[in-house]
A and B are shown apart, each in its own frame.
Chain A
Amino acid sequence: MELEQEKELVFKAKTDAYAFGLLYDEYYKKIFGYVLHRTANVEVTKDIVSEVFLKALQNIGHFEWRGIPFSAWLYRIAEHEISNGYKRNKHIIFLKQDAENSEILSDISIEDEIACAEAEIQKQEEFLLLHKCIVKLPHIYQEVIVLKYFEKKLISEICAILGKREGTVKSLLNRGIKKLKKLMDENATF
């Protein structure tokens, strides 16, 4: 989506549910992917993503357009949810209500979907090995590494998401990789 188009949509989404729905459609998968790469747990990811969009909905009135993509804001909310620790029970209640209230029910239950996706993740041994070490890093390094290598974001996009300068992001990446390498080496010796 073009930035100008997004800006218009975000403005509309403050008062228009349909516009909010379009933003949701646009970014659900991206945020889901990012959180999944951070957590490597589908169940947790599902809950965090629910919370991210709920908070986006609750706070979109505060969002001020400053030339930074809407998605950067969503990534930041996601990061807050991940790094600050989230209240799992709250999410479960919210989702349970969703399911009960919703008239749209799929033939495949959420549980089945989660089970399938979890099974798929368990096959990704190389990712899981890396993830095991990545989660030991301070959050700030986890963030940049996941955005850069798993989400394939450009440095300029990471800067927008994190609200940091290019030099800072590069420095964080550099140090993060060094730290990760050290952890991987340590891990290999055991």
Chain B
Amino acid sequence: MKEEDLIKKLESARLPEAELQTHQRLLKTALLEKYESASNKTATAAKRRRIPIMDTIKEFNRNKWLRPALATLSVVAIVAMLFVMQPWTGNNGYTTLLAKVEAAAKNVESYRMEMLWTADEIVDGKTYETYMNFTYEFVSDEITHLIVDYGTVSYYNGVGTYSEGSFENYYIGEDMYSLVDRNKARSFLFQQVGFYYIYIQSGQQHAIAVLDFMNDIVQLEDEVIDGVNCLHYIGTPKLYEDIIDMKWEIWLGEDDYLTRQIKVDHETYITTTRYYDYNVDISVDMPVDSDGNLKEGWEVEPIQSSEDSHLQTSIVFVPVDEALAALTGDEDWDDVSVVEEILMAMLTSTDWIVYFNALPEEGQQAVHDYVKDSYERSLSTTTKELSNTIGFDRTNNVIHYSNSATGKDVYINAGEITGENSTGLMDNETLAAHWVSTFTANDPQYCFDNFPVETREEMISMFYDFNVAAHELLINELYGGWEYYGKPAN
């Protein structure tokens, strides 16, 4: 068959126009019924997603090569943490109840906790069901055990990639023992869950703080959680009031006042934390044998240093009691710089909810107002930074470079070059230079297509293999560095 004949066949073989009138009508009705709730949810999600400072946080949580930028992390950026790393547990105005809960917690010697965080994340029209599942065993003051399973979308300059994995840690005395499924993902994993695991270490103290952190608390009907009759409360977290729509719920054992479950229900994600097996004898399979030797696959190192190697951040997390001790009581809450300083201290303490609860009412209001103002300002400054990207569309094998500062918007279709045949021998400088010359060429596609096939394989493999060093060189050259992306909109 000749090509011309094939084209004629194609042109004439078109299907007759088909439509399903009933389906069209029913679908429209269903869509419009869903419109109100869906569009509201979307608007909130869009706002969250389009906040540059939030992207900053996401980036530094997820990309180790942003580490240097953290040293200059601004308060504005750190405020954004409040919107991406929701507490997995967290006190109300019920003084008597609070006293009972605090008293109960003092008798806790061991317990288990399971936290499930779920959210739908939409990337390029595709919805990913992301999750983080923390299983935590508080064996004793000296031994804790954490297993994390996750399925999450990691972002690289606006392009999301879904991945699943897990890791396991023991915290024994001053040491942390790690078993990670993939060594190369280790740093990444800690970044993903790093802030949560900081909270996990504050355990029961943090759980108690939930009650005092909620306004408009209402007692709902008692419920049974894990076979235990529970008092059930719902309230609005103080700091988020009038900012984002969110409810927190807590279930307390009716007889023992121990925390049994905490649920954070936000429009875009849900976090459910169960506490169980209080004061039972928890046996664990220790990462060291009876002779004190490390078992196969395990690594050990000090739990935290001031420069936490696992979080891959320069943030120093200060024990919340120490952070609170720095308060003088004479703070001028009308002075924005004071509020910023307090916020920084709060969010870099080991439990910001405990810290917030301890602030005077005037201070809580000032912090709330600052956060609200930052959030609203950030909503109005969005698209410019997001339009500066180097993205990789894996489905179509297309590289997209956009630079709003220069007005460049380039798509490179890699065609059948997949990078699978890459030798991996090309150095990062050369790789980055080839991409720079491609993106800045008068005809970028022509430029790319004219590299030898071996070179193109190398160039594409850089995106498939997530070559961080080469990306960093490229970003530095094209945008003047990572901070360009993360620069908070002041």
CB <8 Å contact, B9 and A95:
no
> Is A64 in the interface zone, CB < 8 Å from B?
yes
**Which residue in A14, A32, A49, A58 is a CB contact (below 8 Å) of B122?**
A58
Please report the C-alpha to C-alpha distance between residue A162 and residue B10 in the assembled complex, in whole angstroms.
20
The chain A residue with its CB closest to the CB of B29 is A102
CB <8 Å contact, B39 and A61:
yes
Within 8 A of B (CB), among A76-97: 76-77, 79-81, 83-84, 94-95, 97
CB <8 Å contact, A124 and B126:
no
CB <8 Å contact, B18 and A61:
no
Chain B interface residue count, Cβ-Cβ cutoff 8 angstroms:
56
The chain A residue with its CB closest to the CB of B35 is A17
CB <8 Å contact, A121 and B15:
yes
CB <8 Å contact, A57 and B31:
yes
The 8 A CB mask of B1-41 against A (1 = contact, 0 = none) is 10100110111111111111111111111111111101101
CB <8 Å contact, A163 and B411:
yes
Which residues on A sit within 8 Å (CB–CB) of B18? 32-33, 36, 42, 117, 120-121
> Is A1 in the interface zone, CB < 8 Å from B?
no
**Which residue in B6, B26, B34 is a CB contact (below 8 Å) of A104?**
B26
CB <8 Å contact, B27 and A98:
yes
Please report the C-alpha to C-alpha distance between residue A150 and residue B9 in the assembled complex, in whole angstroms.
11
CB <8 Å contact, A62 and B413:
no
Min CB distance A124 to B, Å, is: 6
The chain A residue with its CB closest to the CB of B7 is A177
Known contacts A17-B36, A164-B413, A177-B7; is-contact A113 B22 (Cβ 8 Å): yes
Which residues on A sit within 8 Å (CB–CB) of B38? 57-58
Chain A at the B interface: mostly helix, strand, loop or mixed?
helix
**Which residue in B3, B124, B398 is a CB contact (below 8 Å) of A177?**
B3
Please report the C-alpha to C-alpha distance between residue A95 and residue B33 in the assembled complex, in whole angstroms.
13
> Is B397 in the interface zone, CB < 8 Å from A?
yes
CB <8 Å contact, B42 and A60:
yes
Please report the C-alpha to C-alpha distance between residue A61 and residue B382 in the assembled complex, in whole angstroms.
14
Min CB distance A67 to B, Å, is: 11
**Which residue in B1, B42, B124, B383 is a CB contact (below 8 Å) of A80?**
B124
**Which residue in B1, B19, B20 is a CB contact (below 8 Å) of A188?**
B1
Which residues on B sit within 8 Å (CB–CB) of A29? 17, 19, 24
**Which residue in B31, B124, B126, B400 is a CB contact (below 8 Å) of A24?**
B31
Min CB distance B214 to A, Å, is: 29
Known contacts A149-B10, A167-B445; is-contact A83 B395 (Cβ 8 Å): yes
CB <8 Å contact, A62 and B10:
no
Please report the C-alpha to C-alpha distance between residue A53 and residue B15 in the assembled complex, in whole angstroms.
22
CB <8 Å contact, A184 and B21:
no
Min CB distance A137 to B, Å, is: 12
A: contact size bracket: 35 or more
The chain B residue with its CB closest to the CB of A114 is B20
> Is B227 in the interface zone, CB < 8 Å from A?
no
Min CB distance A99 to B, Å, is: 6
Which residues on B sit within 8 Å (CB–CB) of A140? 396-397
Known contacts A124-B13, A165-B445; is-contact A46 B395 (Cβ 8 Å): no
Chain B at the A interface: mostly helix, strand, loop or mixed?
helix
Which residues on A sit within 8 Å (CB–CB) of B34? 54, 57
> Is B43 in the interface zone, CB < 8 Å from A?
yes
> Is A28 in the interface zone, CB < 8 Å from B?
yes
Min CB distance A45 to B, Å, is: 8
Known contacts A17-B36, A167-B445; is-contact A124 B16 (Cβ 8 Å): yes
> Is A145 in the interface zone, CB < 8 Å from B?
yes
Please report the C-alpha to C-alpha distance between residue A15 and residue B46 in the assembled complex, in whole angstroms.
13
Please report the C-alpha to C-alpha distance between residue A178 and residue B2 in the assembled complex, in whole angstroms.
10
> Is B292 in the interface zone, CB < 8 Å from A?
no
> Is A156 in the interface zone, CB < 8 Å from B?
no
Min CB distance B380 to A, Å, is: 15
> Is A106 in the interface zone, CB < 8 Å from B?
yes
Known contacts A53-B27, A120-B16; is-contact A184 B1 (Cβ 8 Å): yes
CB <8 Å contact, B127 and A33:
no
> Is B407 in the interface zone, CB < 8 Å from A?
no
Min CB distance A36 to B, Å, is: 6
**Which residue in B3, B15, B42, B45 is a CB contact (below 8 Å) of A127?**
B15
The chain B residue with its CB closest to the CB of A174 is B3
CB <8 Å contact, A139 and B395:
yes
Please report the C-alpha to C-alpha distance between residue A172 and residue B17 in the assembled complex, in whole angstroms.
26
CB <8 Å contact, A20 and B10:
no
Which residues on B sit within 8 Å (CB–CB) of A181? 1, 3, 6
Which residues on B sit within 8 Å (CB–CB) of A59? 42, 122, 125
The 8 A CB mask of A22-51 against B (1 = contact, 0 = none) is 001100110011001100101000100110
Which residues on A sit within 8 Å (CB–CB) of B127? 55
CB <8 Å contact, A104 and B27:
no
Please report the C-alpha to C-alpha distance between residue A106 and residue B43 in the assembled complex, in whole angstroms.
34
Within 8 A of B (CB), among A107-122: 108-110, 113-114, 117, 120-121
CB <8 Å contact, A164 and B1:
no
Known contacts A120-B18, A164-B398; is-contact A104 B46 (Cβ 8 Å): no
Which residues on A sit within 8 Å (CB–CB) of B22? 106, 108-110, 113
> Is B49 in the interface zone, CB < 8 Å from A?
yes
Which residues on A sit within 8 Å (CB–CB) of B26? 95, 98-99, 102, 104, 110
**Which residue in B20, B25, B46, B415 is a CB contact (below 8 Å) of A61?**
B46
Which residues on B sit within 8 Å (CB–CB) of A36? 15, 18
Please report the C-alpha to C-alpha distance between residue A49 and residue B23 in the assembled complex, in whole angstroms.
10
Listed by A's residue number, 19 A-B pairs whose Cβ atoms lie within 8 Å are: A15-B39, A17-B36, A29-B24, A58-B42, A59-B42, A60-B42, A62-B122, A94-B30, A98-B26, A102-B29, A104-B29, A109-B22, A113-B23, A126-B9, A127-B15, A139-B396, A150-B10, A165-B413, A168-B411
A-B pairs, top 6 by smallest CB distance, nearest first, are A98-B30, A149-B10, A61-B42, A17-B35, A61-B46, A77-B125
Known: A32-B18, A124-B16. 18 other contacts (CB 8 A): A28-B27, A32-B20, A36-B15, A37-B14, A37-B15, A49-B23, A50-B27, A53-B27, A57-B35, A60-B39, A98-B29, A109-B22, A110-B26, A126-B9, A139-B396, A140-B396, A150-B14, A163-B398
